[in-house]
Amino acid sequence: MSHDQEHRWPILSQRADRVLNGPAPGAWMPGSSPNAINLVSGYPYADAVPVEALVAAARALAQDEGDRPFQYLGSARQSFLREWLARAMGPELGAEDQLLVTFGALQGLDLAAQAALDRDTAVLVQSPTYMEALEVFRNYTDHIVPVAECDGVFPMGAVEEALEGAARRGTPVRLIYWGADFQNPTGLVTPESDRRELVSLAARHGAWLVEDAAYRDLFFGEPLPSLKALDSAQHVVYLGTLSKTVAPGLRIGWAVGPKRLLTAMDRMKKDLGNPFVEAVVGEYLQAIDYESHVRELRQAYAQRAEEAVKALGAPAQGVEVPKPRGGYFLWVRLRETWDSDHVAAFLAQEGIMALSGRWFCVETEPDPHAIRLSFSYQPLDQLIDGFSAAGRALRAFAEAHP
Ligand SMILES: Cc1ncc(COP(=O)(O)O)c(C=O)c1O
């Protein structure tokens, strides 16, 4: 029996009912067998997490301030974090903008969705897109409008058509969610001319443009200007995070954008933050040279990406492995006749945890015929073993499905 059909007392909100009838968050995470190699998780590898430096920062804080960081009001070092983030944003933090510290980029996305969406308004997403963003949007609207990738780009013509179509249907797009840098899952980089076009489309159609910059610092070549840097009409909200360059368990992210929207997000957030962690991270960032830290990470992830591609080899005719330009993931494009879920399940039998491309698409979209493999998390030797095994499994799959 679906939740809808149950008559329970007291009654839940319509929104809660919708959430309970939808898929559970994290349903995409495959079960793991004891010796499986995890190529699913987008986590930093163990040595990339600065455990000692974070512990030293927490100790320094407690020694200097005693109970203060543990009180509601928190430590003066929380302002270190805000100052550091403002400096890191540079001129992208405009005079008209506001900065909000969040529980990771995901809370920034959740608050932006709360502040921008009603049930009868739509969110436009790249397809495929980050599966957890879909989970967030499903909490607020039934109207998720996908713009499909076509030959390595998300065509601006299709974005415009989607915006016009949604307005015609009476469910206008109020929020565009976009990964411009090493988009999760495809790894694609939005070309500069498309960035300009996208910013102007958002302004023309009265939509907020949420730029998810989770991987922006992890470029292997030259960075392009952010959407925020190109925003002259005050429509872009930039979401940053320390999850990929410091540690995801800290849950430290930030949102930068126009005051009106950010003030609404701030009020919705209330004081649901973590003053202690913000102060520890503020202290940590003051103590380290972040630029050289992140430069080393770029080199390490570029090397991992290269090793992963090499170990995977040429899996089979019709299977493409685009070389990542940054970020954490390899998006392996399968033959059009192969089902993504089927391939992921086959890899699981061979001891490789991979994510089916289907998780990154709304239900009405066709199978993208792809799997996502992470090169971020495993120790390097197991990473190489895992990608070699994935290559062998794909070749075996090709033989079984000529
Ligand atoms: C595209 C993208 N956005 C946001 C996040 C989540 O970031 P945070 O840990 O800061 O909430 C991730 C993490 O996997 C991601 O891949």
Measuring CA to CA, how many Å separate 321 from each of 180, 306, 307, 334, 355? 20, 11, 13, 9, 15
In the chain, residues under CATH classification 3.40.640.10 are 51-287
What is the distance in A from the centroid of ligand 1 to the CA of 214?
Answer: 6
CA distance 166 to 164: 6
Among protein residues, the one with the nearest Cα to ligand 1's atom 13 is 42
Is 243 touching ligand 1 by the criterion CB < 6 Å?
yes
Atom of ligand 1 nearest to the CA of 183: 1
| CB atoms closer than 10 angstroms to residue 306 | 14
Is 177 touching ligand 1 by the criterion CB < 6 Å?
no
pLDDT category of residue 17 using cuts at 50, 70 and 90: confident
Is 41 touching ligand 1 by the criterion CB < 6 Å?
no
Parallel, antiparallel, or unpaired for β 37-38 and 352-353? parallel
Tens of pLDDT along 244-268? 999 999 999 999 999 999 999 999 9
Tens of pLDDT along 270-322? 999 999 999 999 999 999 999 999 999 999 999 999 999 999 999 889 999 99
Answer yes or no: is pLDDT of 5 > 80: no
Which of 241, 254, 277, 375 is the pocket-test mutation for ligand 1 (most atoms within 8 Å of CB)? 241
pLDDT category of residue 134 using cuts at 50, 70 and 90: very high
CA distance 122 to 126: 13
Among protein residues, the one with the nearest Cα to ligand 1's atom 3 is 214
Q: Does domain 51-287 have CATH number 3.40.640.10?
A: yes
Answer yes or no: is pLDDT of 1 > 50: no
Atom of ligand 1 nearest to the CA of 179: 1
Is 183 touching ligand 1 by the criterion CB < 6 Å?
no
Answer yes or no: is pLDDT of 324 > 50: yes
Contact criterion met (CB below 8 Å) for 391 and 64: no
Is 179 touching ligand 1 by the criterion CB < 6 Å?
yes
In the chain, residues under CATH classification 3.90.1150.10 are 29-49+292-400
Is 338 touching ligand 1 by the criterion CB < 6 Å?
no
Q: Which fold has domain 29-49+292-400?
A: Aspartate Aminotransferase, domain 1 (3.90.1150)
pTM (two decimals)? 0.96
Tens of pLDDT along 37-95? 999 999 999 999 999 999 999 999 999 999 999 999 899 999 999 999 999 999 999 98
Which of 41, 103, 130 is the pocket-test mutation for ligand 1 (most atoms within 8 Å of CB)? 130
